[in-house]
Structure 1
Amino acid sequence: MNRKLRMGMIGGGKDAFIGAVHRIAANMDGLIELSCGALSIRPEIATDSGKSLFLPEDRTYLTYEEMLEKESRMPADKRIDFVTIVTPNFAHFAPAMLALSKGFHVVIEKPMTFTLDEAKQLQKKVAETGLILCLTHTYSGYPMVKQAKQMIREGVLGKVRKVWVEYPQGWLSRLTEREGNAQAAWRTDPSKSGKSGCMGDIGTHAAHLAEYITGLKITKLAADLNIMVEGRPLDDDGNVLLKFDNGAAGALLASQVAAGEENALKIRIYGEKGGLEWAQHEPNTLLVKWLDQPAQIYRTGGGYLGNYAKHNTRVPGGHPEGYLEAFGNIYRNFALTISARIDGQQPTAEILDFPTADDGVRGMAFIDNVVKSGASNEKWTAFEV
């Protein structure tokens, strides 16, 4: 294809955090350009944000409905190819459904929707339209995460037996939602975040990472959810025991009141022959531990890595790649998939390796089942989708 893909953004104005991250990631490989936006529900911020991003006045919209309607009526050589939705959880479903109805592919923040029912409707809409939905579970974009996934898929560790995944943060150790912290305010508000706080926000990342790397599915769980900061309506801490479809056992710990922690996502996976360990604080390293030989250190950029890690590596070994590059990998694979479709070509398996609506449904089901289990006196809750 001899042009960039044209992107429209819903949310992500100058008063938002994640919108800028999406724009950097989308722009990283020169495959995508921001062409229009409905950047805020506040007209003055939407207008000012459009100006700061050098968007044309007639393509800086005040509502997503106006944007999607007008863009869908533009000539094929002008209108956008896809929409990126970076609003809070409660404002994902309606714009995503409308975008798909208007013929646009979709990139969407996680959790995918506000409820499991909405997620299933969105999944059905994707299947009906044949369009592509990409869910930005960022951590699956790291090269060494993809290396771990490939090694397990190829049986290097033998049958997986144990999965430990932990995601501690400390930024909600105080009631900062009442101190003007906008990011904390909506994440701890049930009307905007949904039925879960910590588990919905970061527990879903941990659960996705466990299923993504192992290739296994959670079949049942036992959850303990806690509200540690008095006056907060949603969980800010939790522990979940897991069972997987191959018989493996697991434990998932997520907390936003782990004072002093920043973003310490870490996963350890053990099979019959050895184990893998990866941490987001040191993302270019994968530790491989063996039952009967010394441990090995795998590094991003190494010539010994598999094709999935190499495809998602941008610079030679010794040049750190981090969060923005991982985010960029998701956008690049999504963009290459759309470009291949436009050109009538079949994308490779490496290009197709990004989270989809199916992952979004799994994430919303995780939230539902964790909350159900946390409120139950039963030890185990069957994982229902």
Structure 2
Amino acid sequence: MSTLAPPPVARVAIDDAIEAALSRIRGRAGSLGGAFTALADATARAAQGGKRFRPALVASAFEAFGGDLEDAPALYSVAAAFELLHTAFVVHDDVIDHDIERRGIPNVAGEFRARGLARGADEAGAALLGEAAAILAGDLLLHEAARLIALADLSSHVREGLYGLLDDAVLVSAAGELADVENAVGAHDADTDSLLAAAHDKTAVYSFTAPLCAGALLAGATPAQLESLRRAGGFLGLAFQLVDDLIGAFGTAAQAGRTEGGDLREAKLTPLVGLARETASWPRVTEALSLAWTGPVAVREAQQALEESGARSRLLSLIEDALDDATASAGPLPEPARELVRSLAVSIAERSP
């Protein structure tokens, strides 16, 4: 089974913990008005499904460091917290991107935009309502993630460590997302190193470093072990995001969960594009990218231009280097933890289109 998904028993326990948190929000909503009840329901739908790989990392790291569930009954609540954190970021990311659908169905913003139109709002008012609802839904999920850790059955030492991980996850991810948006609007010509830093920051800590270290911390890992795992998680997260960038440019619609070549159609400034900009082929690449929004034929032309520039092969080399660095960083860890990092590296590599 892929290490990017929890085993069935853990999946049930994680889902139960997530549902309990969402049910609490829905229970409070009943006395706070019809709009808030609708928001609670939309928030719960946003958290449904998904691979649950971040909570899977919490559980997998806990097991890899020899954790005993009887000594850490809060394991699945903590794992659920990282899934709610992820959902919060997804909901807020949709606002940043002005998206009203996710995987073909209305997201929180889309649901409330439709609600506004049904109640007589004009397009601008409905859009405002949709984005306001999505921001508030993300806020609720962020609060619930922190609340799960705050109320979990943990020692003060472990709780403090988990809050440190959550703090890093939120702050570094926010910095990465802001840098990504600033790069996208063309306020300056970001170099490839800056684009790689943004790619790392918006994904690596909250998706890999924090959940892996949370599971290890719950299992009693030492500070030195946590530092090695932190480094490994950073490299894994960078590689994961760079693979996502490849999927956004070269992946199938099924891989990307949206129209093929979506990043090219939207002219996203990713490390892949940054690498192409460093080559003599950049004039052809930039011309092809400027037309990619027009349709599938133009997307294929942009893909070919990027391929022939060497940017794709260079990005693949960066991914391979990051995965090698992750494996090397795990060297001081116990063998089960080293094997976890190795298996994650393989899973990430296998995602590459």
Asked whether the two chains share a fold, i.e. TM above 0.5, the reply is no
Of Structure 1 and Structure 2, the greater helix share is in 2
| TM-score normalised by structure 1 residue count | 0.30
Q: Greater strand percent: which structure?
A: 1
